[in-house]
């Protein structure tokens, strides 16, 4: 078992060539570069018992090789916020099985389910095809700072819909292979700084859902996550109110991004306005260090830019632009990295 630590982003504008050129400008050593063809097959019971217990079961074909993987419920911040931490179990295969054998995995994964029954009811319920461009990067030739290795994957994905149509998507993942969370955060921030300078060529926003969850939604198997209710503000604990609002924002963003649901959009608007009002009234000098910088940045964006233009442009367009605004993405990541450290 290993733990996968990665930052996921959706690519709204840009190609792999653009991304590669931008990352090259950071000056890291390229350990490996390759392109792979992935076929991903997902399995569950008709009642989605694995999903309900936080288990994702996948068989992946990479070129001619097969591997079976289980990812268990995200640890750390939550399933939202772009930072994903999954305990991961992998088993090499010689071919694609008609039904995966769950007994090849540690039994403790299935402690809360009826394993024989689930095994008997397993079926392939969705799939996707993906062209993955991989960059394995290291700072070891620069000689400064802590050593780290990060894998950057640019994925061009075709999801299968419930009507057997194809839905295309582009995503980029930054997976930490060697080093600390702080090193990963600094690297992604450098990337976002470059995105700020090249907005005409590339535009990204945080990816708050896994590929499996997206595949399930497109296939009509799973529902879009419901937005959670906006919390009341506690005047005696403003920072905790900020954290709760943040979780609310992430949850409602999931629903909004898939369906442009106006109820979820109203929740987002409430969160943004409450964020701005709280930040305006807070003495940020007295906020704990991990949260101080992202909140200062949020204040400059929300109070100085976002609310002033709220009534002058279409709300959906403005919200989309905010979600892909690199300084806003950086502040969101900082909040979620800070939550992991708590």
Q: What is the pLDDT of residues 257-276, one digit of tens each?
A: 444 455 566 666 677 777 77
Higher pLDDT: 324 or 77? It is 324
For residue 221 the two structure tokens come to: 């198997």
| Measured distance CA(1)–CA(71) in Å, rounded | 10
107 three-class SS:
helix
Write out the H or E segment, with its range, that includes residue 298. helix 289-301
Beta-bridged to residue 89, according to DSSP, are 70
Flag whether pLDDT at 55 surpasses 50.
yes
Flag whether pLDDT at 60 surpasses 60.
yes
Strand 203-206 versus strand 83-93 pairing type: unpaired
Q: How far apart, in Å, are the Cα atoms of 337 and each of 33, 95, 286, 294?
A: 28, 38, 20, 10
Flag whether pLDDT at 209 surpasses 80.
no
At 259 the pLDDT is 43
Higher pLDDT: 67 or 162? It is 67
Q: How far apart, in Å, are the Cα atoms of 216 and each of 49, 157, 220?
A: 14, 14, 6
At 92 the pLDDT is 95
Residue 333 phi, psi dihedral angles, 5° rounding = -60, -45
Higher pLDDT: 139 or 304? It is 139
Q: E strands along the chain, which residues?
A: 2-13, 29-44, 56-62, 65-71, 83-93, 123-138, 149-160, 166-178, 203-206
316 CB neighbour count, 10 Å cutoff:
12
Closest CA to 324 of 190, 173, 211, 204: 204
Higher pLDDT: 281 or 192? It is 192
Q: pTM for this one? A: 0.84
Percentage of the residues of the chain whose pLDDT score is greater than 70: 81
Flag whether pLDDT at 36 surpasses 90.
yes
Percentage of the residues of the chain whose pLDDT score is greater than 90: 34
Flag whether pLDDT at 239 surpasses 80.
no
When pLDDT is cut at 50, 70 and 90, the band that residue 304 belongs to is low
DSSP symbol at 145: S
Beta-bridged to residue 172, according to DSSP, are 9, 154
Residue 295 near residue 282 (C-beta atoms within 8 A): yes
DSSP symbol at 285: G
Q: What mean pLDDT is reported for the chain?
A: 81
| Measured distance CA(181)–CA(3) in Å, rounded | 13
When pLDDT is cut at 50, 70 and 90, the band that residue 230 belongs to is low
At 322 the pLDDT is 75
| Measured distance CA(19)–CA(298) in Å, rounded | 26
Flag whether pLDDT at 143 surpasses 60.
no
For residue 119 the two structure tokens come to: 């095994």
| Measured distance CA(340)–CA(76) in Å, rounded | 5
At 130 the pLDDT is 94
């Amino acid at each position: 078992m290993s733990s996968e630590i990665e930052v996921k982003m959706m690519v709204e504008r840009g190609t792999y060539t653009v991304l590669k050129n931008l990352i090259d400008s950071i000056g890291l050593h390229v350990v490996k570069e390759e392109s792979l063809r992935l076929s991903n097959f997902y399995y569950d019971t008709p009642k989605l018992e694995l999903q309900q217990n936080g288990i994702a079961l996948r068989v992946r074909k990479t070129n001619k090789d097969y591997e079976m993987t289980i990812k268990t419920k995200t640890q750390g911040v939550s399933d939202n916020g772009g930072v994903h931490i999954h305990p991961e179990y992998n088993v090499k295969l010689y071919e694609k099985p008609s039904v995966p054998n769950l007994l090849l995995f540690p039994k403790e994964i299935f402690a809360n389910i009826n394993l024989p029954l689930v095994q008997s009811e397993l079926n392939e319920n969705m799939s996707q095809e993906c062209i993955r461009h991989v960059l394995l990067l290291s700072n070891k030739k620069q000689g400064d700072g802590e050593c780290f290795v990060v894998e950057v994957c640019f994925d061009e994905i075709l999801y299968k819909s419930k009507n057997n149509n194809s839905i295309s998507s582009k995503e980029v993942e930054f997976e930490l292979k060697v080093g600390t969370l702080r090193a990963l955060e600094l690297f992604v921030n450098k990337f976002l700084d470059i995105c700020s300078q090249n907005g005409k060529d590339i535009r990204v926003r945080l990816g708050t859902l896994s590929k499996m969850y997206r595949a399930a939604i497109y296939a009509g198997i799973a529902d879009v996550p419901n937005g959670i209710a906006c919390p009341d503000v506690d005047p005696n604990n403003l920072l905790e109110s900020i954290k709760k609002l943040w979780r609310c924002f992430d949850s409602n963003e999931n629903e909004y991004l898939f369906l442009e649901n106006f109820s979820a959009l109203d929740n987002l608007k409430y969160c943004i306005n409450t964020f701005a009002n709280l930040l305006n009234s807070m003495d940020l000098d007295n906020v704990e260090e991990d949260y101080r910088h992202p909140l200062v940045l949020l204040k400059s964006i929300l109070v100085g830019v976002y609310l002033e233009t709220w009534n002058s442009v279409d709300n959906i367009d403005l919200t989309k632009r905010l979600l892909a605004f690199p300084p806003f993405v950086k502040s969101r990541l900082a909040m979620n990295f800070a939550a992991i450290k708590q």
